[in-house]
Amino acid sequence: MKYAITDDFINRLRAESDIIGLISEYVPLKKKGKNFWGCCPFHHEKTPSFSVAPEKGFFYCFGCQSGGNVFNFLMKIENIGFMDAVKALATKMNIPLPEVEKSAQELAKEKQLNDLFKVNDMAQEFYHSCLTKTSYGKSAREYLASRGISLPVIEKFNIGFAPPHWDKLSQAFMERGIDSQLLVNAGLAIERSNSNGVYDRFRSRVMFPITNARGKVIGFGGRVLDDTQPKYLNSPETPVFNKRHVLYGFEHAFKHIRDSGKAVVVEGYLDVISAHTAGINNAVASLGTAFTTDQAKQILRLSEEIIFAYDSDAAGQNATVRALSIVQELGAKVKILSIPDDKDPDEYIRKHGAAAFTDLLANADGLIDYQIKKAFKEIDYSGLEGKVAVVSKIVPVLAASNNAVEVNSHIAQISQTLAIDESAIRSELRKFIVQIKKDKTVNGGKTINKISLIKKPSVAVEQAEKSIIRLLYDNVELIPTVQALLSVDDFQDENRQEIIKFIFDAYNVEKKCLASAWYTDLSEAANVELSQIMLTEIPTDDTAKLVNDYMRMIRLTNLKLLYEEHRLRADELERMGDSRFLQELAESQRIKDEIKKTHNS
């Protein structure tokens, strides 16, 4: 049956749900004032910082900054998608899902996916039985034992073995009524070139089942026992398996990633298994492919910190560099583990033990440290040419940092290692930044510096932005006033920009802003921000005056930033001998006059 889950149905669930009752199934809560408090289920803590506001329907942790509504909670605690959270909540509330008849095409698609899941599950049982219960698996059992993989670990990861016959699985399955085309579609078999039947894709390989986040088998990875190539063979892409979207071991690791606040990303199946055997249960692998944006987003839904522990050989280090470019764009907190002696995690754990590897993780390098060490390792800096090369490679890394203390510390370290004066490094850093600033874009006939005065907003401005959103939630009639005087871009935080845009758009369409719609139309990050805002108490006396004061503060802050941008651009153009500096001076004076007027209003 197909479910017609509409916005009205979602709003009904939210309105009728008991967020306190639901969260209490997972976390003991105690009432304190208007809200309920408990220890956060998403990170370890002894002092409760997890708060739930029943009247507003939000939860927020002031420790790990997790937050959202009843749907967000279910998504995060159960590691499920939004629609699955809706279905789960409906089940808990004994509210039947609205049903509609599926089309013939939809029924066929559903059957195809179910058949693929079923045959993959059968294959897992087949391979696992071959390993653990037959003579076929003897050599594989010996191999796994030599790698320190015990029977309990084999059972945990459902490791198996593909027999050394061309069609052992295919024949066994077809005798049980499985169509050969389904085996081909699932990637378990390959059609013979003469179109006379099929043969097994995997033969004489240790088999690692690959599951989705819900634990359903979607594919396999197979490893040979000798030096035959390819060493590893993965299932081809199917309607249920795309290796760019999957992390091996994720179904075992996701709760540990969420609880620890970090994920350890390794390269291969055996690295994951060794890590979990050593008690490092937040380890996952990227299935022998380059780390992808989709894989990163899976992790970042649970934790903002990722530790890369790829192999220390050249291929592993290149993979690390590619992965860093992915996660940097997503704003993740990144650390990199450098494993001594060019070992991979599996080898290092087997040789030195779990405690030694845990120590390595605890001392993993931050992004800048890693890149500096990498430059020193790859470049011979004994001569002047090498010193110049090292500085040239490190300066862009330093320029990307927003932490002046961190940059100064690294400059001192680099200066000492290269035996050159700090001022020389600072000079190169300044030149690099100036060069970036000359990366211009044309806007309305003017050349505009792409790096302007992007500053972190002050605490007062942050509070003003949050307070306006909080007040508009309860005072919809104030929305037109705020919309007339402030734009979305006047808010300096992108999540608050998303929230205020939603408020304006919703009001413009319906002349109201239904609270129930906030939950489904905002991104996860904006929902977290909204939750924190809603759980913060603010004064409610003379609401209109408060809103005007907050708007004035935001407006003044943006005018001052704009003034500095035009003033500095005028200075730069004048140094370049460009007569357009006069226009910039005139504009900066106009903005200065507007600042004065806003101050006096």
Q: Domain tally for the chain?
A: 5
Pair (348, 416) in one structural domain: no
Sequence-distant (≥ 6) Cβ neighbours of residue 582 within 8 angstroms: 570
**Residue labelled with tokens 């409906």:** 90
Helix or strand (DSSP H, E) at 52: strand 50-53
Q: Are 398 and 410 in contact (CB under 8 A)?
A: yes
- Given phi > 0 = left and psi -120 to 50 = alpha, else beta, which region is 401? beta
Domain residues for 195? 104-241
In a domain, 332, yes or no: yes
Pair (111, 218) in one structural domain: yes
Kindly report whether the peptide bond that precedes residue 230 is cis, defined as omega within 30 degrees of 0.
yes
**Residue labelled with tokens 């009247």:** 55
In a domain, 464, yes or no: yes
**CATH number of the domain enclosing 474:** 1.10.860
Two tokens, residue 562: 């704009």
Q: Provide the 10 A C-beta neighbour count for residue 143.
A: 17
Pair (595, 465) in one structural domain: yes
Rounded-to-integer distance, Cα 198 and Cα 180, Å: 7
In a domain, 444, yes or no: no
pLDDT 10s digits, 49-90: 999 998 888 899 988 888 888 998 998 888 888 888 888 999
Q: What is the dihedral of CA 247, 253, 256, 261, to 10 degrees?
A: -10
Pair (109, 80) in one structural domain: no
Sequence-distant (≥ 6) Cβ neighbours of residue 220 within 8 angstroms: 120, 123, 124, 127, 187, 188, 202, 207, 208, 209, 210, 234, 235
What residue type is 575 in one-letter code?
R
Pair (230, 260) in one structural domain: no
In a domain, 365, yes or no: no
In a domain, 270, yes or no: yes
**CATH number of the domain enclosing 142:** 3.90.980.10
Rounded-to-integer distance, Cα 87 and Cα 96, Å: 9
pLDDT of 454 reads 40
Pair (118, 236) in one structural domain: yes
In a domain, 117, yes or no: yes
Pair (251, 225) in one structural domain: no
* Stretches in the chain below the pLDDT threshold 50: 440-455, 516
Pair (267, 352) in one structural domain: yes
Pair (23, 81) in one structural domain: yes
Pair (400, 311) in one structural domain: no
Pair (299, 170) in one structural domain: no
Helix or strand (DSSP H, E) at 126: helix 104-133
pLDDT of 445 reads 37
Percent helix, strand and coil across the chain, each to the nearest 5: 55, 15, 30
In a domain, 349, yes or no: yes
Rounded-to-integer distance, Cα 324 and Cα 337, Å: 13
pLDDT 10s digits, 533-568: 888 777 667 788 888 888 888 888 888 888 877 787
Pair (253, 236) in one structural domain: no
